Amino acid sequence: MTSLAVALNVLRRILRDGRTLALIVILPLFFVLIYGNSFSGSYSDLTIAIVNEDNGLASVRTMEVGRVTLTVDLASAFVDALDTTVFDIVVLKDSDEAMAMVGKDAWAALVFPKSFSNAVVSEAVRSSGERQVEFEGDSVTILPSDPVAGPLTKLIIDDSNPLVAGAIVAAFNDAFATVLETQQSSVTTESLLDVQRLYEGEIRMLDFTAPGIIGFAMTLITVMLTAMAVVRERTGGTLTRILIAPVSAWQVTLGYTLAFSLIALFQAAELFLVSLWLFDIRFVGDPGAVILVIVLFAIGLQGLATLMSTLAKNEAQAMQFVLFLLIPSIMLSGVFWPLETMSGTMRALSYAIPLTYANAALRKIMLTGHGIEALTFELSVLGAIAFVTLLLSVISMRRQAYTA
Amino acid sequence: MPADHVIRAQGLRKIYGKRAALDGLSLSVAQGQLYGLAGPNGAGKTTLIRTLCGLLRPDEGEANLLGWKMPSTRVRSQLGYMPQDFAVYNDLSVMQNLEFFGRLYSLKRSQVRERAKELLDLVQLSDRSRDRVGTFSGGMRRRVSLAISLLHKPRLVFLDEPTAGVDPKLRRSFWDYFNALADENVTLVVTTHLVEEAQRCHMVGFLMAGRLLTQGQPEEILAQTGTSNLDDAFIVLQERGEVAS
């Protein structure tokens, strides 16, 4: 009976605490909805550049009329076979321009050589023997010829994201297989493709996830520490005491920012060093750029945490509110699966999460060796988040003193 | 209203839900006065102090401190405030607490040390200055809180229940110190739910349900109510107030 009384007392107190009660109901739903909508398993909006130099002609030897030229246009057939729900296809004329897009505006570039159709048809006939085709209204027999040696189709791929790179290669293989099937060809995709990876050395799944995991660890620790510290300062009355002194909310907020940025930098250094030492994660970029990303990221995080602490009456509530940032951060910021696999709504939500930009920036630095000049967008967004949340935390800091 | 009134509040009203914590309250306190705010729990003492300090915005009315309409940042350096909760860092030592808050008032380390000596003697914690506040009893923490509030030699001091949980002998020395500060022209507003304590004040205001039942010198209140102590005076005033309402 005593246990029952204790249990009833616990439940009664939770029922009286509207915010905790709401969190108990909302948090599981939030978690499931985010998870269900964030990973569809299929990709969309992958930009690829294609240059089609194929003349669409195949020169073959026939039994009846000697050498003739057939119009087959297999490169176009390949492009048509690509799934447009997965790919945003940019068709270009200049192969150098297409190659230059990879790693910036496109995941891959594919350049069909002038003799693509000819090479496929010749190889098909050579490997599978004579066949009948229609030529100018008559049926003619194509005779096997010597293998046609020509330039391969060139595929250059951004392999910074092994998941996306794998998906693109798989989709290209499918499209090639469809085209080759129409030619009853035994030619393999590999024999037609000259695959060049954009970056030197293999980028493992561990390398790919490491920047996001490090960013997530920072989010977890910085947000929890800040939110708890501010709530404790407020509920203990010391925040009121500080803000009744001749100091401005700006000074107090900057003090917090300085302290937690230093802690975040220390944590980041620890995370990076241990990851490099124990797991040999890929780090080919500039450590200075990483520090800049981390400082801006940490300021934004502590600003968000201060804002969250405004909503919390006590430390327990603060912890629960923090989960509303942590769950989307791990699921929607592209740490494990690319943004390109998410539905439109979830992707829009992911753009509101600081880790999305920190992760993208850290990947650019660590995996591909990009410098600060390539991080303009990510640094601008992280800087804007830091500034706005800092501004709002100053307002909230003053408000917390009034409502303490 | 005399010009040397450092606190002037007019028609303060603060509503929480359906309950008026302050119900059109007006108050003025002269410079160098030790003003005691007495009343039962929930009378509105803390709400009044927080409103006067600018920590709460009144729904109606306004408060002026040292000539500035509150909330104002201009009076902060001259304001001492001891909240009802301890408002100290339990994980720091007494001296570390004093040093931190001293920095907020731009005091040099040597100034803090000098003031700490005097104040820790007052609150009888000189021998515990290096101990962590978290190891202290409630009454001791309140004493640390009082020392912090007086650290920067404020001209105007609000002390919310400074003697709660403090033993009678020390309580007496606190009141002696408050009177000594008032003699130095410091203005103090001190709340207490121990009505009899207010006997040590120059002026006393009896607060009940967000209204001042009366205010005056202790002797005047005793004469007005025909009683011999402030406890009895308060009960008489309370009964009159209830009959009137």
Q: Does any CB of chain B come closer than 8 Å to the CB of residue A237? A: yes
Q: Do A236 and B86 touch (CB under 8 A)?
A: yes
- Residue B159's DSSP bridge partners are B82, B190
Residue A236 in contact with partner chain B when CB distance is under 8 A? yes
For residues A189 and B216, which has the higher predicted lDDT (pLDDT)? B216
Task: Reduce the secondary structure of A195-230 to three states and give it as a string.
Answer: EEECCCCCCCHHHHHHHHHHHHHHHHHHHHHHHHHH
Give the pLDDT band of residue A148 (cuts 50, 70, 90): low
What is the edge-to-edge ordering of all strands in the sheet holding A108-112?
A87-92, A46-52, A108-112, A153-157, A193-197
Coil, strand or helix: which one is B163?
coil
Q: Which residues of A touch B112 (CB under 8 A)?
A: none
**How do residues A170-223 score in pLDDT, each as one tens digit?**
888 888 888 777 766 667 777 778 888 888 888 888 899 999 999 999 999 999
A241 touches chain B (CB under 8 A): yes
Residue in B56, B73, B104 closest to A242 by CB: B104
Confidence check: pLDDT of A127 > 80: no
Structure confidence at residue B116 as a pLDDT band (50, 70, 90): very high
Whether complex ipTM tops 0.90:
no
Q: Check whether A36 has a pLDDT greater than 80.
A: no
Q: Quickly state the pLDDT bin for A381 (edges 50, 70, 90).
A: very high
Question: How far apart are the C-alpha atoms of A289 and A272, rounded to whole Å?
Answer: 14
pLDDT-above-90 percentage for chain B? 48
- Reply yes or no on whether the pLDDT at A70 is more than 70: yes
Structure tokens at A318: 């603060």
* Mean pLDDT computed over A228-257: 88
What are the percentages of helix, strand and coil residues in chain A, rounded to 5?
65, 15, 25
Closest residue of chain A to B58, computed from CA coordinates: A402
To the nearest whole Å, the CA of B127 is away from the closest chain A CA by: 24
* Binary contact (B89, A238; C-beta < 8 A): yes
Given CB atoms, is A100 within the 8 Å cutoff of chain B?
Answer: no
Which of A235, A238, A243 is the best substitution to test chain B (most B C-beta atoms within 10 A)? A238
- Return the DSSP state at B20: E
Contacts of B105 in chain A (CB under 8 A): 245-246
Token digits for A334?
């592209």
- In chain A, whose CA is at the least distance from the CA of B70? A244
Per the CB < 8 A criterion, the answer to whether A203 and A281 are in contact is no
The better pLDDT of the pair B214, A147 is held by B214
CB atoms within 10 A of CB B243: 7
Cα–Cα distances (Å) from A364 to A287, A291, A297, in that order, read: 12, 14, 15
Q: Report how far apart, in Å, the C-alpha atoms of A285 and of each of A271, A276, A282, A336, A374 are.
A: 16, 13, 9, 21, 12
CB B81 to CB A241 under 8 A? yes
Average pLDDT over chain A, rounded to whole? 86
